[in-house]
Amino acid sequence: MEALGINAAGLLTQIVSFLILFIGLRVLLYKPILKVLDRRSQKIKESLESADKAKQEADISRDEIQKKFDEARVEGQEMIAQAREIADRFKEEELAKARSEIQAERSKAEAEIRQERDAAIEELREHFAGLAMSAAERLVSRTMDEEAHRDIIDDVLKESLKIK
Amino acid sequence: MASLLNRPKLLVALVAVVFLFCLGLAGGALGNEFGGGFIGSPLAHIQLAAEPILSAPIIRGLPVFGDVYLTNTMVTTWIVVSLLLLLAYLGTKNITDTPGRFQGLLEAILELFLGLAEKVAGPTKGRMFFPLFMTIFLFVVTANWLGVLPGFGTIGRFEPASEVIHHAEKKLKGDGDHVDLSSIHLHKFEGDGRFVFIPFGSIGDVLTAKEIEGHGHGESKNGDRAGLLVPFFRSSNTEINTTLAIALIATIAVHWWGIRALGIREHIGKFLNFRSGPIMLFVGLLEGITEFARVLSFTFRLFGNIFAGEVLLIVIAFLVPLVGLVPFLGLELFVGLIQGFIFSMLTLVFATTATMGHGSEGH
């Protein structure tokens, strides 16, 4: 053993030195580094998870927004259609109203015209009646028989009606 | 070749390397055979046991340990321990969730080995085995790589001839033998006072202790000083005490984990199995022997590889000094890394099998 260089003092020194190194590295190196490594991997795991969650949430909200957008578009289209319909109806109504007003005006005008004409005819007829009366008076005054008298009146009346 | 001419820096570097290689070839021990050898020095003294760097023991006459000497491998081990603890301290002093470069490097290394431990042993056991697994790797690799640095094995204390002879005598004490002085080889040093060195071109200057007998304190006839170089630094794992220490710690830890996971009865029962017939008893005993063999294989695998690497570097530096060493330095870096990985990985695997219970053990 001596020839190989093995001796108790050397062996013990080496054992103690190695144990000091072992304990020292454990305290100074392995514990802090492993702690940091573990903490970091934990952190990475957590942030990956939260990123996943955020992505899911973003997906969901994007879907929601899309849905709302679609809804709004449909709604808008509906509103436009409705408005158009209302406008059409309004136009129609206005048109009908205007037409009926025009109609009413026209019929009123026609009635007035007819009234005027009737009045004119009546006036004319009265005028002719007056003429006839005066003619008759004149005839009566020239004494004529009654029959000739009546014929003359009728003729006058007939003529006056023809004017109409 | 044309492309090499377009890159003058590379060309100059290449020429310099080739020149240095030829210089080394001529000036080293190989060239010495043909009349060169102007750079080389004698083959360094190679010994298994770690050398004491102080001539006097630091503690005298302890009950079990006897005289305790401060050896160069102890110093290197302490340098490795301090260096690793300092790096760990600096790396985790301002620890944050968003790491800087150095913290990132430490994290990458630790994460790699933690992943390995968790893959081999499972998530919970991997965490349990990880500190020892990692520490063995870091210690062994750092020690091996430090051993490749210049200054290791080449700068040290001058041990005069009288002391060398004295040590040799002390080793043989009790055997009643006399020291064979002609078997003790010494190197010639130049310089005086506190600073001495082995000069260039001194490949042949090897003396035996017998030659300088009677010349007092290692002074040879012409006033040179004879003695040996005791390096201040020597790679930790070139001493068996270091590798044995790690092997013992690893094996004890493995059995401790085995007992904790299975209970003491079942863990011991793996080796002393009286319930399943004589064959299983024999298998159990064999496994028990294997456990002891593991300590030895742990110890000598690491020691053998690193010691051999050291010897290889010494021999190559002796044969072809200067740049001849470069490829072997790379090789030693690789071997140092691989040995650290093997030692820690085997510890992890043994710990995993020890905590797995009877059914999955040894089939």
**What SS3 state is found at B187?**
strand
Residue ranges making up the domain that contains B315 = 72-149+236-354
Nearest to residue B205, comparing CAs of B183, B218, B187, B229? B187
B6 occurs within a structural domain = no
DSSP characters over B212-266:
TTTSTTTB-TTSPEEEEEEES---GGGSHHHHHHHHHHHHHHHHHHHHHHH-HHH
Euclidean distance between the first and final Cα of chain B, in Å?
A: 60
Looking at the fold, whether B269 and B287 belong to one and the same domain comes out as: yes
Is B40 inside any structural domain?
Answer: no
Alpha-carbon distances, residue B344 vs B144, B347, B361 (angstroms):
14, 5, 20
Q: Does B130 touch chain A (CB under 8 A)?
A: yes
Angle at B105 between CA B104 and CA B110, to 5 degrees: 95
Looking at the structure of chain B, the number of domains it has is: 2
Would you tell me which residues 11-30 of chain B have a C-beta closer than 8 angstroms to some C-beta of chain A? none
Q: Do B240 and A6 touch (CB under 8 A)?
A: yes
| Neighbouring C-beta atoms of residue B93, cutoff 10 Å | 10
A3 to chain B: closest CA residue: B49
Burial readout A55-83 (b: 16 or more C-beta within 10 A, e: otherwise): eeeeeeeeeeeeeeeeeeeeeeeeeeeee
**Residue B140: closest CA among chain A residues belongs to which residue?**
A18
**Pair (B135, B265) in one structural domain:** yes
Distance separating alpha carbons of residues B354 and B346, to the nearest angstrom? 12
Using alpha carbons, select from B280, B351, B336 the residue that is nearest to residue B126: B351
- Asked if B295 reaches chain A (Cβ–Cβ under 8 Å), the answer is no
Mutate to test the interface with B, among A27, A30, A44 (most CBs of B within 10 A): A30
Domain termination residue (choose one: B231, B254, B287): B231
Within 46-75 of B, beta carbons closer than 8 Å to A belong to: 47-50, 62, 64-66, 68-69, 71, 73-74
Q: Is residue B3 part of a domain?
A: no
Residue A39 Cα, gap to closest chain B Cα (Å) = 8
pLDDT of residue B218: 46
Q: Is B264 left (phi over 0), alpha (psi -120 to 50) or beta?
A: alpha
In a shared domain, residues B331 and B258 = yes
Residues in B touching A30 (Cβ below 8 Å): 110, 130-131, 134
Beta bridge partners of B157: B230
- One-letter amino acid at B268 equals I
Residue A83, SS3?
helix
Do B125 and B173 lie in one domain? The reply is no
- Compute the distance between CA of residue B275 and CA of residue B269 in angstroms, rounded to an integer: 9
Tell me which chain B residues have a C-beta less than 8 angstroms from the C-beta of A23: none
Per-domain residue ranges for chain A?
2-163
Mean pLDDT of all residues belonging to chain A: 87
Same domain, yes or no, for B267 and B176? no
> Does residue B36 belong to any structural domain of this protein?
no
Q: In A, which residues are within 8 Å of B239 by CB distance?
A: 5, 10, 14
Q: Are strands B156-160 and B185-189 parallel, antiparallel or unpaired?
A: unpaired
Task: Check whether residue B183 and residue B221 sit in a common domain.
Answer: yes
Residue A32: other Cβ atoms inside 10 A? 17
Half-sphere exposure of B211 (CA within 13 A, CB side): 18
DSSP state of B180: -
| Per-residue model confidence as pLDDT tens digits over B57-80 | 787 777 777 778 888 888 999 999
Residue B303 lies in a domain: yes
Q: Report how far residue B8's alpha carbon sits from residue B110's, in angstroms, rounded to the nearest whole number.
A: 42
Which residues are CB-neighbours of A135 under 8 A, at least 6 positions away? A152, A156
Q: Alpha-carbon distance A66 to B358, whole Å?
A: 65
Percent of chain A as helix, strand, coil, to the nearest 5 = 95, 0, 5
| Cβ contacts of B242 within 8 Å, gap of 6 or more | A14, B73, B77, B143, B236, B303
Which ipTM score applies to this complex? 0.84
Considering only CA atoms, which of B102, B336, B100, B353 is closest in space to residue B237?
B336
Identify the three-state secondary structure at position B66. strand
Strands B59-62 and B66-68: antiparallel
Structure tokens at A30: 């392995």
Q: How many helices (H) and strands (E) does chain B have?
A: 11, 6
Taking chain B (363 residues) in runs of 10, the rounded mean pLDDT of each run is 79 91 84 78 80 79 78 91 93 84 91 93 90 94 91 82 76 64 78 75 74 56 70 88 93 92 84 81 87 91 92 87 88 94 94 75 41
Final residue before a domain boundary, out of B183, B214, B231: B231
Q: Which of residues 225-264 of B touch A (CB under 8 A)?
A: 236, 239-242, 244-246, 248-249
**Nearest residue on chain B to A2, alpha-carbon basis:** B49
Q: Return residues 298-327 of B near A (CB < 8 Å).
A: none
CB atoms within 10 A of CB B302: 27
Q: Do B88 and A3 touch (CB under 8 A)?
A: no
Distance, in Å, from the CA atom of B245 to the CA atom of B230, rounded to the nearest integer, reads 23
Q: Within this chain, do residues B210 and B257 fall inside the same structural domain, yes or no?
A: no
For residue range B200-246, list pLDDT tens digits in order.
777 777 777 777 765 554 454 555 677 888 888 888 888 899 999 99
Same domain for B196 and B84? no
Each residue's pLDDT tens digit, A82-128: 999 999 999 999 999 999 999 999 999 999 999 999 898 888 888 88
Is-contact B201 B40, C-beta < 8 A?
yes
On the CB side of B320, CA atoms within 13 Å amount to: 15
Distance from CA of B324 to the nearest CA of A (A): 30
Residue A119's identity, in one-letter code, is A
Q: How far apart are CA B54 and CA B137, in angstroms?
A: 30
Q: Are residues B219 and B240 in the same domain?
A: no
* B172 in a structural domain: yes
Residue B249 and residue B333 in one domain: yes
Structural domain ending residue among the three candidates B231, B258, B292: B231
CA distances B292 to A23, B265, B289, Å, are 26, 19, 5
Could you tell me if B163 and B225 are in contact, meaning their C-beta atoms sit under 8 angstroms apart? no
Give the model confidence (pLDDT) of A5-58 as tens digits. 788 888 888 999 999 999 999 998 889 888 988 898 899 999 999 999 999 999
Is B173 a domain residue?
A: yes
